[in-house]
Amino acid sequence: MRGGRGFAVGLVGIGLICQEVGASIAVLLFPQVGPLGMVMLRLVFSALILLLVARPRLRGHPASAWRSALLLGGALAIMNGLFYLALRVLPLGITVTIEVLGPLALSVVTAKARSAWTWAALALAGVLALGGGGWDRLTVTGVLFALGAAASWAGYILASARVGREFERFDGLALAMAFGALLSLPFGIADAGDALLRPELIALGAAVAVLSSTIPYAFELVALRRLAPAVFGVLMSLGPAIACTAGFVLLGQRLSPLEIGGVALVIAASAGAVWAGRGRPPIPLDEPVA
């Protein structure tokens, strides 16, 4: 494995860990600000941070670049909104398990090698094993929200790959995040209400933004410049494994033998996909994003 690809895989792993920690904080804030209020805080603070750091240029970008940024911003707002709405009625592990089916499906659709089906099937088996202990708690509404988040996540991966190529540094991500934040404002304000006047909740919302959006999305944007979408999609299947492991280490939540087996399967599938896709280039710039 070349150094650049190994570096990209490491960035994806760190981003996933940050996302799970941020999601845990977000769940604790639901009673005060609601899921859509949390989405708004997350995207607004992420946009402010990225705009300050990146200081993106507003001129000199072709229309295709702006379309890609707007598409990515919409995917960010929809994906986060549906994920938190699902998280309100489903356990974190189950929600992440269903959501990760989007990147897994993308890994199969975009891969040309037959081995991609093997690694995707192995990852799917691991994901199902991870969720095996909590399927009895599913609700129709929660599953629909989670499936919508899964589809949005697949769209985010494709849009992010193009934005990473059409903009310098993090300019495209900053502009996309700002657009996503604007989309979330009316829904978030209606959901959170006067809770937005409490400084401690605002501070926690900023922490969630850094952990769940700013760090992971920036790292993923860099990683997608070095990884094929098929490889990246299977790597996303590490999300449920990291969620379960973090729950065991940080929260004392024990894993069943079935869940431990699922963690092992997902890790093996992700490692296999990275190895199998070591010669695949990232998605070309002129390939359609939808």
pLDDT reported for residue 251: 59
Per the CB < 8 A criterion, the answer to whether 150 and 97 are in contact is no
pLDDT reported for residue 239: 78
Domain coordinates in residue numbering, the chain = 3-276
Q: Rounded CA gap, 98 and 110, in Å? A: 20
- Low pLDDT (below 50) residues in the chain: 1, 281-290
Q: Rounded CA gap, 156 and 221, in Å? A: 11
Per-residue pLDDT reduced to its tens digit, 92-148: 777 887 887 787 777 777 666 677 778 778 878 877 776 665 666 678 898 899 889
Q: What is the DSSP string of 253-281?
A: -PPPHHHHHHHHHHHHHHHHHHHHTTTPP
pLDDT reported for residue 252: 67
Q: Rounded CA gap, 191 and 186, in Å? A: 9
Per the CB < 8 A criterion, the answer to whether 265 and 215 are in contact is no
Instruction: Give the residue carrying structure tokens 């940024």.
Output: 69
Per the CB < 8 A criterion, the answer to whether 211 and 38 are in contact is no
**pTM greater than the 0.85 cutoff:** no
pLDDT reported for residue 216: 86
Give 255: exposed, middle or buried? Use CB within 10 Å, 0-12, 13-18, 19+: middle
Q: How far is CA 179 from CA 15, 18, 19, 22, 176, in A?
A: 22, 23, 21, 21, 5
Give 52: exposed, middle or buried? Use CB within 10 Å, 0-12, 13-18, 19+: exposed
Q: Rounded CA gap, 140 and 30, in Å? A: 20
Q: Rounded CA gap, 215 and 11, in Å? A: 9
